[in-house]
Amino acid sequence: MQTPDAKSRSWRWFDYKKPIPVHWVIALGIAAWVIFFAIWGLAVPMGWVTPLLVPPPQKVLVALWMLLTERGFLGDIGVSVYRVVLSFAVASLVAVPLGIA
C-alpha cells in the first residue's frame, strides 16, 4: 500500500504547471518546421531517400506554385467546396424535420 506522499510524488509530473509563454510556443513551432524542412532538404542529396518517391522541397514548391497559378486548381477546389456545402445543406434540410418528427 502506498502512502499518500508516495502517491503524490508519482503524479507530480502530470500536475498542471505554469502555462507555456506564447513566444516559446511560436519559437518552438517555427523551429519544428525549420528542422523538418532541413532534414527533408538533406535527405535527398545524402541518399537517405529515393528522389523518385520523396522529391526535394524545392521541386515540390515549384510544382505547387505551378499547380496553383497555371492549372486552375483553385477553381477546382472552389467547385468541390461548393458541392460539399450544398450537399450538407440539403442533407440538413431533410434530416432535421425527420429527426424532430
Which range (1-5, 19-23, 80-84) has the least confidence? 1-5
The residue whose grid cell reads 545524402 is 46
CB atoms within 10 A of CB 43: 16
Q: Is the pLDDT reported for residue 85 higher than 70?
A: yes
Identify the pLDDT of residue 101.
Answer: 77
Angle at 9 (CA atoms; ends 8, 13), nearest 5 degrees: 100
Identify the pLDDT of residue 1.
Answer: 55
Q: Compute the 3-state secondary structure of the chain and give helix, strand, coil in percent, each to the nearest 5.
A: 75, 0, 25
Q: What is the pLDDT of residues 11-58, one digit of tens each?
A: 666 667 778 889 999 999 999 999 999 999 999 999 999 999 999 999
Q: Please state at what angle helix 73-100 crosses helix 57-70, rounded to 10 degrees.
A: 80
More confident residue, 75 or 1: 75
- Reported residue count of the chain is 101
